Amino acid sequence: MKSSQAPSTVRLRAAAYVRMSTERQIYSTANQLDRIRQYAASHDVDVVTIYEDSGRSGLTKKGRPGLTQMIEDVQGNHDFALILVYDISRWGRFQDLDESAHYEYLCRLNGVNVAYCAEVFENDGTPFTAIIKALKRAAAAEYSRELSAKVFAGQCRMISMGYKTGGPPGYGLRRALLDSDGKIIQILKAGEWKAVQTHRVVLVPGPVAEIAIVNQVFKWYAEDGVGDRKIAAVLNEQSVATESGGPWTPDIIRGMLQNEKYIGNLIFNKASFKLRKTAVRNPPEEWVRCDGAITPIVPQELFNAVARERARRHRRYTDQELITSMQRIYNAHGRISSTLIDADPDLPTARLIARHFGTLFDAFTQAGIPNLRSNDFLVTRDQNYGFRDRMVAEATALAIGAGATAELMDAPHTLRLNGSVTVSMRAIRCAHDKKYGYYRWRIPARLAEGCDFLLVALLDRTNRNITSYLLFPTGDLDHRAIAFTESSIKRYSANQRWNLSDFFLPTSSAK
């Protein structure tokens, strides 16, 4: 007689998801995992993997790599049939309740159920459970809205009292920690924060060397006419590190020149991104200000000069204002050119005017200025860019077909072949000399700078078609331009080909 044995119980495999924001210690990931493991032990479940988001907001899925990876695994290859979560709020405080339900539905659709270990209800799919979950999700979302309003009100109050609420101090400034009596305890370093509730943080002037650089930046812009991009480049050339230790950018310079904290004023709520929704710029009447909260490190007069200069440079002109100014220049000089436009203090650059009207020629036409000079270049300039793009694309394909490698470089219309040889590609327009009646081409020496070879396409008399190609080693254009006419081009017959493919011959295979 055979003895019977009780069948072994197959234990369910599960994944645990934990998320910690900064609101309560009870919701630390360690405490969540303790409760999840208790639930798993009492339900014969084995936790085989853990997904974690530490210090992450539950408002959206974006910025939560743990949740994102878990959803991807659920929809792909996974070895668990259950996800254990502490409670509804740890799954997320999504402002759209359907979003929270959507992620749970994706799991269930792929054969993975979700269990909330600290909730009093079982997630069994009954109508009662669905109602409870909807209420819990609404409560979690409402908690975030209420918390956001409370935090915002607290930040506004702190700013109005002259205290720093968060974020880096800014180049040339430092964060100082104050005790309850308003005395400085220490200067906070990056990554250091107050630990006592009654302590406060204020901004104070930083090192003298940094203050000098801040003032130099303001002077460069206001007095020397240097722009944001050039200022950033100069500071990088001088190996001046930013507040974070990285390189300077035009955006950093722009933010510095417009920030009133350098003249002692704290401003809050210029822009807002509440509840991870669309960022908005708020009107000045909604800003929270505290003037005189900081010891200024930039003179008020210098700050105002920068503001005036920025307003002048970034002024928005109407069509009529631009037309009137161009007519004024033409009447004063009897002619008009991009040089005269750039020299006029009341006009933007000729490039901006051309962009505003389409081309500079169109701008002159709108202003009723007679076309005294050839406008061929203005008409064909954009077409030339198209020629260059096609040359680069065709040369890349030909090089690869010939067994070479072709890599597009940062320099415009330039390829690196086989990782070593650089070729710049240009289209050269044909100019008609009306005085002598001949047609000629001119290749400026600057086109060969920074490359090994210059490959040019010569356009025909109409500047609408390519007639032939010339290839020059850059040494042939060493500090001098190359110019020739239809009759004198034979001097460069050794450099000339009729098709671009003639420059790319297949490499022979080793046998």
Q: Answer yes or no: do 424 and 366 share one domain.
A: no
Whether the pLDDT of residue 2 is over 80: the answer is: no
Do 62 and 138 fall into the same domain? Answer: yes
Of 10-14, 62-66, 147-151, 271-275, the least confident = 271-275
- Does residue 222 fall inside a structural domain? yes
pLDDT reading at 453 higher than 50: yes
Looking at the DSSP bridge assignments, the partners of residue 421 are: 417
214-218, 412-416, 455-459: range with lowest mean pLDDT? 412-416
User: Do residues 381 and 360 both lie within one domain?
Assistant: no
Q: State how many domains the chain has.
A: 4
62/53 Cα distance (integer angstroms): 11
Residue 138 has pLDDT above 90, yes or no: no
Reply yes or no on whether the pLDDT at 23 is more than 70. no
Whether 468 is in a domain gets the answer: yes
User: How far apart, in whole angstroms, are the C-alpha atoms of residue 441 and residue 485?
Assistant: 6
In 3-state terms, what secondary structure has residue 182?
coil
* One domain for residues 121 and 136: yes
- Under the banding of pLDDT at 50, 70 and 90, the label for residue 49 is very high
Instruction: Tell which of 267, 294, 311 closes a domain.
Output: 311
In the chain, the largest separation of any two C-alpha atoms, in whole Å, equals: 122
The verdict on residue 163 lying in a domain is no
Looking at residue 87, what DSSP letter applies?
A: -
Shared domain for 139 and 177, answered yes or no, is no
The per-residue pLDDT for 511 is 37
What is the domain range of residue 364?
319-373
On the question of pLDDT at 163 being above 50, the answer is: yes
pLDDT (0 to 100) of residue 1 = 44
pLDDT tens-digit map of 369-385: 886 554 545 455 567 77
DSSP label of 419 = T
* Interval 131-150 mean pLDDT: 79
Q: What is the CATH number of the domain that holds 383?
A: 3.40.1350
165: in domain: no
Q: Which residue has the tokens 């005017």?
A: 353
Domain end marker among 342, 358, 373 = 373
User: For residues 112 and 53, what is the distance between their CA atoms, to the nearest angstrom?
Assistant: 20
Q: What CA–CA distance (Å, rounded) separates 333 from 337?
A: 10
Pair 359, 418 in one domain: no
Distance between CA atoms of residues 496 and 498, nearest Å: 7
Within this chain, do residues 187 and 286 fall inside the same structural domain, yes or no?
A: yes
Q: Report the CATH number at residue 265.
A: 3.90.1750.20
| Angle, helix 228-237 to helix 208-223, in steps of 10 degrees | 140
**Predicted local confidence at residue 281, as pLDDT:** 77
Q: Is residue 226 domain-shared with residue 348, that is, in the same domain?
A: no
Residue 162 lies in a domain: no
* Element housing 178 (H / E): strand 173-178
**222: part of which helix (H) or strand (E)?**
helix 208-223
Higher pLDDT, 155 or 323: 323
Q: Look at residue 22 in the predicted model and tell me its pLDDT.
A: 61
Segment 252-274, tens digit of pLDDT: 999 999 999 999 988 888 776 65
Same domain, 226 and 339: no
pLDDT at 95 over 90: no
- Listed residues 282, 311, 340: the one ending a domain: 311
Mark whether 26 and 112 lie in a shared domain: yes
Q: Is residue 190 part of a domain?
A: yes
- DSSP E strands in 179-246: the ranges are 184-188, 200-205
90 pLDDT above the threshold of 50: yes
pLDDT band at 510 (very low <50, low <70, confident <90, very high): very low
Same domain, 77 and 180: no
Residues 255-272: b if buried by 16+ CB within 10 A, e if exposed: ebbebbbbbbbbbbeeee
The contacts of residue 509 (CB under 8 Å, 6+ apart) are none
Q: What is the pLDDT, as a whole number, of residue 497?
A: 93
> Residue range 423-446: average pLDDT?
87
Pick from 60, 58, 52, 59: nearest CA to 15? 52
In this prediction, residue 509 carries a pLDDT of: 43
- Read off the tokens for 342: 């750039």
Mapped onto helix, strand or coil, the DSSP state of residue 104 is helix
pTM of the model: 0.50
The conformation of residue 424, written as its DSSP 8-state character, comes to E
- Indicate the range of 165-174, 188-197, 199-208, 233-242 predicted with least confidence: 188-197
Kindly state whether residue 330 falls inside one of the protein's structural domains: yes
pLDDT value of residue 172: 92
| 22 inside domain | yes
Q: What residue ranges in 429-479 does DSSP mark as E strands?
A: 431-432, 439-443, 453-459, 466-473
Do 305 and 226 reside in the same domain of the chain? Answer: yes
Bigger pLDDT: 394 vs 334: 394
Predicted local distance difference test score (pLDDT) of residue 128: 82
User: What pLDDT score does 427 carry?
Assistant: 92
